[in-house]
Structure 1
Amino acid sequence: MGLSSGEAPNTIAGMAKYAAAFIEALGLKQVDLLGFSLGGTVVQQLTLDRPDLVRRLILAGTGPGAGDGIQPPKPEVFQVAGKPVGGPEDFLYLFFEQTETSMAVGRAYLSRLEKREGPREPVVKPETMKAQLSAIAAWGKGEGAAYPRLGEIKQPVLVANGSNDIMIPTVNSFIMAQRLPNAQLIIYPDSGHGFLFQYADLFVEHALLFLRQKGTQW
């Protein structure tokens, strides 16, 4: 993806394996991980596979896969998210709450992106999108998903989401936080999947507060 070379695996387990290999290639013995959306599934799997590598974990706008009470996105969300190239209105629909205040912040975010200087990353290749969608679909069906194994994640975890995430329904964050042994949940008001764009400064403050704690408790 982006400027990375190679091919994307078509399973979450494969992505987690690549992530662990990248961490080790950097010579790092232990890291704090932030996983957003699809990235959140990858870091859950990585933590289960290699708990020795992970000190603290932030799961943002993500879910643990199929399980009791877990809700999938509505069909219309898949229709918009599955477009090869989405427009600004698609982005606003998927990432921000459908209120005047949230939409205004979303448009300001898009405006800032337009001011970016320097070369842009290439559009994600169709093959990569297909691999990602395959991995997400399997995880959503419970194939190799983290849901039944969340109790094995002993590290401190910060679970965060918007109050109305339509990409990965917010209720899934509540369920995930309840099943993790050492988790705290933060829900940001009047926001959706892109809550960390909408509340960038506040989210950073919360993340730093969490990461600066010492020991194995939140």
Structure 2
Amino acid sequence: MTTLQATRTQYVDAANGVRFAFRQLGTKDGIPLVLHIHYRGNMDYWDPLLINALAATRPVIIFDQSGVGRSSGEVATSFQGWAANVIALCDALHLNKIDLLGFSMGGAAVQMVALTAPQLVRKLIVAGTTASQPPADETGEGIVWPRVQPPKEHIEMLAADVKTADEAARAIAFSFFYDTDAGRQSAKKYWDSIQTRNVIDEPLILTLLDHKKAENQFITFGDWITPNTTNSFERLHELKMPVLVLNGDDDRLIPTTRSWELHARIPGSQLIIYPVAGHGFIWQHAEWVATDVARFLDGVGDDRLMKL
């Protein structure tokens, strides 16, 4: 099997005018798993430990959003816009059925993909993310007022005008991992892992998304945390496909309580919380996460859950 470290970037022109950069690896047969990266990230931020483990049993596709990394176009200013780009990419690749995983802001985008094109998504995984903002008078299941807000310094560090790979590494370490010796070791292990990619004529892009473009992503999240009935919160009951919710037990960027909220509001969803981990649980426990995702996608335990 070709590993992520050796998989070349491909390009496809979509009907919306965007030339998407993507990488595909794994098995030839099966429903492909498409993965959407986090705020200011591009394909090079996916940990090979996670992707290679997933690709051992299925086709896997990672990509750069419009205006991000190696893709052309502009950064959309709503998650509905991000979702439209994912759907356009799938159309361009002639994919009529996918499994879909989104991490952090990518998790918000894939909620909108599944709500907009439910016929496209067989199974959905949302990792380290949140539903959109509920109405101020919402008292439904899973909502606790006041809603926990993340510490400002974690968001500010990640949103700063970061220009170098070293600065990006420090921002990721502080915002995604525990501020302990063990947390810093996990951050270093992740950063070292993504640098094992070595493809001729394809230098890594390990600086965070240009600050100007990142402002559009921040506007996107601003729209997400403004009550709006067309966003996901009041529509989560529409998700009829199997859904898996993942997070660390102490996410400082998107509070772990938001994952419980998603689980409570998505009928039949499953929830896994990883111990001693923050927002970067998906890197810290990469192979463990891959095992859980594979079990979910393969339907392991579905019969037991149906009987509960």
Q: TM-score, normalised by structure 1?
A: 0.92
Question: In the aligned structure 2, how far is the partner of 1:37 from the partner of 1:74?
Answer: 16
Question: In the aligned structure 1, how far is the partner of 2:189 from the partner of 2:273?
Answer: 22
Cα distance, 1:185 vs. partner?
A: 0.5
Question: In the aligned structure 2, how far is the partner of 1:156 from the partner of 1:113?
Answer: 30
Bigger proportion of residues as helix = 1
1:179 and 2:240 aligned: no
User: Quick check: which has more Rg, 1 or 2?
Assistant: 2
Q: Any idea what the Cα deviations from partners look like across 1:143-188, whole Å, max 9, x if unmatched?
A: 3431111111111011000111111100100011011002110000
Cα distance, 1:88 vs. partner?
A: 3.0
- Partner of 2:119, secondary structure, is helix
Q: Any idea what the Cα deviations from partners look like across 1:104-151, whole Å, max 9, x if unmatched?
A: 211222233344434123742333211110001110223343111111
Question: In the aligned structure 2, how far is the partner of 1:7 from the partner of 1:122?
Answer: 20
Q: Which residue of 2 aligns with 1:78?
A: 155
Q: Which residue of 2 aligns with 1:101?
A: 182
Question: In the aligned structure 2, how far is the partner of 1:158 from the partner of 1:35?
Answer: 11
Letter in 2 for 1:40: G
Moved more, 118-127 or 62-71: 118-127
Q: Which residue of 2 aligns with 1:121?
A: 205
> Tell me, which stretches of 5 or more residues in structure 2 are unaligned?
1-67, 135-142
1:28 and 2:114 aligned: no
- Partner of 2:192, secondary structure, is helix
Moved more, 113-122 or 190-199: 113-122
Cα distance, 1:42 vs. partner?
A: 0.6
Structure 1 residue aligned with 2:105, among 16, 19, 38?
38
> Tell me, which stretches of 5 or more residues in structure 1 are unaligned?
none
Equivalent pair of 2:104/2:129 in contact (CA under 8 Å): yes
Root mean square deviation of aligned Cα: 2.0
1:189 and 2:256 aligned: no
Superposed counterparts of 1:114-193, under 5 Å = 114-118=195-199, 119-121=203-205, 123=207, 124-143=209-228, 144-193=230-279
Equivalent pair of 1:99/1:190 in contact (CA under 8 Å): no
Question: In the aligned structure 1, how far is the partner of 2:114 from the partner of 2:190?
Answer: 32
Equivalent pair of 2:168/2:206 in contact (CA under 8 Å): no
Q: Which residue of 1 aligns with 2:72?
A: 5
Equivalent pair of 1:2/1:122 in contact (CA under 8 Å): no
Cα distance, 1:71 vs. partner?
A: 3.1
Question: In the aligned structure 1, how far is the partner of 2:236 from the partner of 2:212?
Answer: 31
Letter in 2 for 1:210: F
Question: In the aligned structure 1, how far is the partner of 2:78 from the partner of 2:173?
Answer: 28
Structure 2 residue aligned with 1:18, among 81, 85, 101?
85
Higher relative contact order (CA 8 A, sep 6+): 1
Equivalent pair of 2:155/2:175 in contact (CA under 8 Å): no
Letter in 2 for 1:189: P
1:211 and 2:293 aligned: no
Quote the sequence identity (%).
Answer: 33
Letter in 1 for 2:265: R
Question: In the aligned structure 1, how far is the partner of 2:251 from the partner of 2:169?
Answer: 18
- Partner of 1:51, secondary structure, is coil
Question: In the aligned structure 2, how far is the partner of 1:194 from the partner of 1:31?
Answer: 25
- Partner of 1:56, secondary structure, is strand
Moved more, 185-194 or 90-99: 90-99
